[in-house]
Structure 1
């Protein structure tokens, strides 16, 4: 049996965590991957070193800047010779230094948090999607786009409302694009992970509040980057085109939508 031809993927925010796991999973099935980073090129190069196969690339830029977002896609297309898969994973994630609970944060801090999270998590993903989609349309080629959202879009993020709003917007954007791009053979899906045990979260999970975080799921644990990557691998496969428009909850039953 002849193996399907390798495809080419751009994974944003792939220098560590979920993005790194996604890059590894796509490379393991034979895809060539452009590993995107915002500021830490060394970490992105470490991701590339973990990838099976060859022909991978590192591309850099702040997707929150419209010009740099377009340049990231240009770099990926040039390095790989084209792109068929986009995984919008780059995000400004909740952290102690961007916490903006409305009763506690200054107005200036409120503005800063909203602007940065919306610029990267929503508008940045929209701009990268535009550039990849137009590349595919101009080629007359099918493709797959997956947005990495969050359960916070549905349950709320009281200490990080800009993050919850950005991810809700990302999910809605993905469904709009699923309808708009289907005539061109481009499928678009989103994933809404719960708490994922990345390296960045290791200290929190090991601390006093770690048990409470694990208890959010009836499985008594948090998710892994590899579980998210496995879902992305399916949703970017040829077999998943009929799932276009879907938002996949991936949270270990820690939040159930009705």
Structure 2
């Protein structure tokens, strides 16, 4: 399988801001062509697209929680990138609070459905759609899933988020085994807390001090650090890392 080092066709879901934007920039700086997906934040996604170095990048909007919507996104991304997909980064996710003691049953059920449909099923569906194209292309490929430290240490106020991210890790390992004969490597990253504009308000005052104290480095991570690890996992030399779940949390949570 001859996966190219640069000039690859890369689909990044949920790339309008935050980690998705950092991922898009990292791949573009590597010389790859990027399909920037967004769900509802079109203006921010256009800003991401405009910030990318190189040429051949495309903007693709769509609702990944709907299987037909996911198929449409994958199809338009492949077409816009020149007829295929070499790398998929499953980044799109929702993370809405729903502590059991303070959440009505109706809200609880609805929020679990939302988390499962976006965090897990959209990841599974996009993985199928991208992998089938990689198989048909005959050149192998890479799938990298954005999981979470919360899959291992628990998310008491966001239990559906933690549970679906654990499922994403398990999905990635299953696909790593089944897709290896086709030259497709699948891996996941499990970030701890890292800085983005979405969580910037939490980094001030006592809460910010507590967050930084989680790591012995005394700081939060950065989106660029996560993106650099994903870029490596998606590279041709990282095939032997297939099946891994890479902890990126500054030693804030150590698994045994």
Q: Deviations over 1:46-78 (max 9, x none)?
A: 111111100100001111111101111001001
Give the Cα–Cα distance (whole angstroms) in 2 for the partners of residues 27 and 207 of structure 1. 36
- 1:144: which partner in 2? 142
Q: Output the TM-score relative to the length of structure 1.
A: 0.96
Q: Secondary structure at the match of 1:109?
A: helix
Instruction: Select 2:181's aligned residue among 173, 183, 187.
Output: 183
2:236 maps to 1:238: yes
SS in structure 2 of the partner of residue 130 of structure 1:
helix
Structure 2 Cα separation of the partners of residues 106 and 8 of structure 1 = 44
1:45-84 matches, within 5 Å, as 45-81=46-82, 82-84=84-86
- Structure 2 CA distance, aligned partners of 1:112 and 1:41? 25
Structure 1 match to 2:133: 135
The structure-2 alpha-carbon separation of the partners of 1:5 and 1:92, relative to structure 1 and needing over 3 Å to count, comes to: closer
Q: Could you say which residue in structure 2 is the equivalent of 1:216? A: 214
**How many residue pairs align between the two structures?**
252
Q: Which residue of 1 aligns with 2:107?
A: 109
Deviations along 1:165-199, one digit per CA (max 9) or x if unpaired, are 00000000000000010000000000000001100
Q: Secondary structure of the equivalent of 1:87?
A: strand
SS of the residue corresponding to residue 150 of structure 1 reads coil
Distance 2:248 2:225 in 1: 8
Offset at residue 139 of structure 1 (A): 1.9
Q: Give secondary structure in 2 for the equivalent of 1:92.
A: coil
- RMSD of equivalent CA atoms: 1.0
Question: Could you tell me how far apart the structure 2 residues matched to 1:25 and 1:5 are?
Answer: 12
Deviation readout 1:80-114 (Å, 9 max, x if unpaired):
01110000000002xxxx32111111001110110
Q: Which residue of 1 aligns with 2:15?
A: 14
Task: Say which of 198, 201, 214 aligns to 2:199.
Answer: 201
Question: Is the 2:5–2:236 Cα contact (8 Å) retained in structure 1?
Answer: no
Runs (4+) of structure 1 moved beyond 6 Å?
Answer: none
Aligned partner of 1:226 among 218, 224, 228: 224
TM-score normalised over the length of structure 2: 0.96
Shift of 1:5: 4.8
